[in-house]
Homo-oligomer: A and B are copies of this chain.
Amino acid sequence: MSDKSIFNIENLGPPKYRSPLQLSTVKGDRIFNFVSESDRLVFDISMDYYNQCLNDGESPICMEKAGPRQNIFFDAKNTTAAIVTCGGLCPGINNVIRGLVMALHYFYGVKKIVGIPYGYEGLNPEKGHELIELTPDKVKDIHQFGGTFLGSSRGGQDVSVMVDTLENNKIDMLFAIGGDGTLKGVNAIGNEITKRDAKISVVGIPKTIDNDIDLIDESFGFQTAFDVASPILRDAHNEATGAYNGISIIKLMGRDSGFIAASAALAMPVVNFVLVPEMDFSLEGENGFFAALEQRLLQKKHAVIVVAEGAGQQLFKDRQIVTDASGNVQHEDIGVFLKEKISEYFKGKSPVTIKYIDPSYIVRCAPANSSDSVYCSGLAYHAVHGAMAGKTKFVASRVNNRYVYIPISEVTKKRKKIDLEGEFWFSVLQSTGQPFFLG
Contacts and interface: CB of A to CB of B under 8 A. Distances in A.
Interface string A420-433: 11110111011101
Given A129-B244, A266-B377, A401-B400, A47 B62 contact: yes
A267 B220 CA distance: 13
Contact of A151 (B107, B151, B243, B358): B243
A373 B267 contact: yes
Given A32-B426, A46-B41, A400 B403 contact: no
Counting chain B CB atoms within 10 Å of each CB, the highest count among A22, A32, A118 belongs to A32
A390 interface: no
Interface stretch (A9-17, A167-175, A196-204, A360-368): A360-368
Given A268-B370, A269-B377, A402 B151 contact: no
B144 A32 contact: no
A380 to B, nearest CB: 10
Interface string A81-124: 00000000100000000100011001100000000011001000
A434 to B, nearest CB: 12
A152 interface: yes
B361 A236 contact: yes
Contacts of A42: 42, 45-47, 50
Interface in A385-439: 400-403, 420-423, 425-427, 429-431, 433, 436-437
Contact of A362 (B151, B226, B232): B232
Contacts of A264: 370
Interface in A32-70: 32-33, 39-42, 45-48, 50, 54, 59-60, 62, 65, 67
Contacts of A143: 269
Contacts of A369: 227, 369, 371
A190 to B, nearest CB: 25
B39 A242 contact: no
Interface stretch (A23-31, A176-184, A312-320): A23-31
Contacts of A371: 223, 227, 267, 369, 371
A153 to B, nearest CB: 7
B362 A355 contact: no
Nearest to A29: B421
Contacts of A45: 41-42, 45, 400, 402
Given A263-B374, A365-B236, A242 B151 contact: yes
A234 B426 CA distance: 34
Q: How many copies of this protein are present in the complex?
A: 4
A129 to B, nearest CB: 7
A220 B148 CA distance: 31
A312 to B, nearest CB: 17
Nearest to A351: B153
Contacts of A60: 47, 50
Contact of A422 (B32, B89, B365): B32
A167 B70 CA distance: 60
Contact of A32 (B145, B401, B423): B423
A183 B24 CA distance: 38
Contacts of A106: 430, 433
A235 B147 contact: yes
B98 A269 contact: yes
Nearest to A146: B238
A431 B308 CA distance: 36
A135 interface: no
17 contacts: A32-B423, A40-B46, A41-B46, A67-B423, A118-B244, A144-B145, A145-B238, A146-B234, A147-B235, A148-B238, A153-B244, A223-B370, A223-B371, A227-B370, A230-B370, A266-B374, A267-B370
Given A33-B421, A223-B371, A266-B373, 6 more contacts: A41-B47, A42-B47, A148-B242, A151-B242, A152-B243, A267-B373
